[in-house]
Amino acid sequence: MRIRKHSLYILLIAFATTACNKQIDLRPSDFIDPEGAYQKVDDINKGLLGAYSTLNFRSSMYYTSIITDENMLPSENSTGSGFATHRWQYDGSFLHPAFKDNYVAIDRLNRALSASWKIPVKPSEQEAISQYRGELLALRAYCHLELIRNFAAKYEPDALGVPYMDSSMNSKPARLTFAQTMARINTDLANARNLIPAGFDDRIRITSIAVSALQARAALYEKNWDNAITYATEVINALPLASKTAFPQIWKDNSNAEVIWKLKRVEGDEIIGNLYTQAGFLDDPAGSRIYYAASYKLTNLFDKVNDVRFGSYIMIEPGRLADNKVPNVVVKYIKADGSNLTDVKLLRTGEMYLIRAEAYAEKNNLPKAGDDLNALRAARITGYTPVTIVDKDIMIDNIITERFKELAFEGHRHFDLRRRNWVISRNPEDAVNALGAVLLKPTDAQYVFPIPNSELRANPNMKPNPGY
């Protein structure tokens, strides 16, 4: 199934232009009326798909990836794309797509959710409308979680969070605290899990297991270690880790092993692999252009021979060395046919193992944390020998490093460093084209993305992040 871009707007316009056949029914031509757009249960599904269509890798992965130490900017990249962000030169004039796209999606969700209570529902449609309401609530929670990850001043209870929009009527909302925002996210997720049928298993939409995964991720950010363990365990028990044979096929779209939720991408959609490499790269690896390369810092962490993740994520192309080009090619989003168009994986079981391991470590249950860390490594590394770690700080350092490898190029590294209040530090060989952007400290303004100036001007109740 393809979720088409802008389908909700097209739907609304179509309904608005055909619903008025009496003069008394006429409404202003620039007003899209949800009462006219949503008239039956299937319309709610179309509105839901319109919200799904807003999600994209630029909102969830792009900028989060290039500001960290997992990428480097090769001199051969002359596009200019993302340069200022990679070099930490952004200010309030930077309109991060995560801000715009997530609030657009939320507005669509709120309109569909509100309409779902006003339309007639047949007895045979009760399960469907319940599912759609559950997806709408869960997707609203996901979008707000993405906003809080990107724009919260800190991941601390009293820090500035983001406005939580549960209605399309509040045009000038104020920022809640981080704790208040997380409470609203958790409420939406708790309500969603009671509405989505357990048997619904479409992985390009939010299922009940995806809700559990989002609850585990939310618990990680608010440091609710008991909930993190509970919800991550639900996912782990339902969806095991991929085998070493299946794992590389996940990234070629040939397997859904351990994929909890993904964005389906088809011809005409934006292409995630184009962030890293020129189209058709595999046809001419030595001659094609790399836009962003895997950092040496990341590349050197892998067991390049035995770790299935290394070959799935990164290729060392020696032919590029002859031309003094960076050889560390990101191939995670290149299909077997050489195209860069792959589905965007948003939730995987591997992440759940690391969430649970970190939660166990924070609760000083190091044996349990070690069990999860060793289980994940054994699933990825041939001939892996389990290790025993008896120091909490060393255990947490191992887990964060494992997240660096396991979740590379999936939009987590920046947030993981922020959760720990750790610096972003680039190795010298990774900063040759970064214009001095080598160390970004938690006290630096650019450690946190800015609230866009355009939003601050339009909404007097919105406060900027510190330093902007």
CA–CA separation, 325 vs 457, rounded Å?
Answer: 44
Q: What is the mean pLDDT of residues 36-60?
A: 92
Q: In the prediction, which pLDDT does 10 show?
A: 25
Check if the beta carbon of residue 41 is closer than 8 Å to that of residue 121.
yes
* Ramachandran category for residue 257: left, alpha or beta (phi over 0 → left; psi -120 to 50 → alpha): beta
**Which alpha helices (H) appear in 304-391, and where do they start and end?**
308-313, 349-362, 366-380
Give the three-state DSSP class for 23. Answer: helix
Q: In the prediction, which pLDDT does 171 show?
A: 80
Percent of the chain, pLDDT > 90?
A: 85
Q: Is the pLDDT of residue 15 over 70?
A: no
pLDDT per residue as tens digits for the range 260-270: 999 999 888 88
Nearest to 85 by CA among 424, 344, 437: 437
Of the pLDDT bands very low, low, confident and very high (cuts 50, 70, 90), residue 320 is: confident
pLDDT per residue as tens digits for the range 112-138: 999 999 999 999 999 999 999 999 999
pLDDT per residue as tens digits for the range 368-387: 999 999 999 999 999 999 99
Q: In the prediction, which pLDDT does 33 show?
A: 59
Q: Which element (helix H / strand E) includes 250?
A: helix 247-250
pLDDT per residue as tens digits for the range 395-444: 999 999 999 999 999 999 999 999 999 999 999 999 999 999 999 999 99
Q: Is the pLDDT of residue 2 over 70?
A: no
Q: In the prediction, which pLDDT does 34 show?
A: 61
394: Cβ–Cβ under 8 A, 6 or more apart, which residues? none
Token pair for 269:
């959609």
Write the CA distances from 409 to 18, 32, 101, integer angstroms.
45, 38, 20
Q: What is the mean pLDDT of residues 305-309?
A: 98
Q: What is the mean pLDDT of residues 327-332?
A: 96
Q: In the prediction, which pLDDT does 37 show?
A: 84
* Ramachandran category for residue 304: left, alpha or beta (phi over 0 → left; psi -120 to 50 → alpha): alpha
- Residues β-bridged to residue 329: 315
Check if the beta carbon of residue 263 is closer than 8 Å to that of residue 343.
yes
Percent of the chain, pLDDT > 70?
A: 93
Task: Kindly provide the b/e burial profile for residues 34-45, where b requires at least 16 CB atoms within 10 angstroms of the residue's own CB.
Answer: bebbbeebebbb
- Residues β-bridged to residue 44: none
How many other C-beta atoms lie within 10 A of the C-beta of residue 280? 12
Residue 331 DSSP symbol: -
Token pair for 325:
């080009």
Mean pLDDT rounded to a whole number for the chain: 91
Of the pLDDT bands very low, low, confident and very high (cuts 50, 70, 90), residue 57 is: confident
Q: In the prediction, which pLDDT does 8 show?
A: 34
Q: Is the pLDDT of residue 36 over 80?
A: no
Task: Give, rounded to a whole angstrom, the gap between the first and last alpha carbons of the chain.
Answer: 43
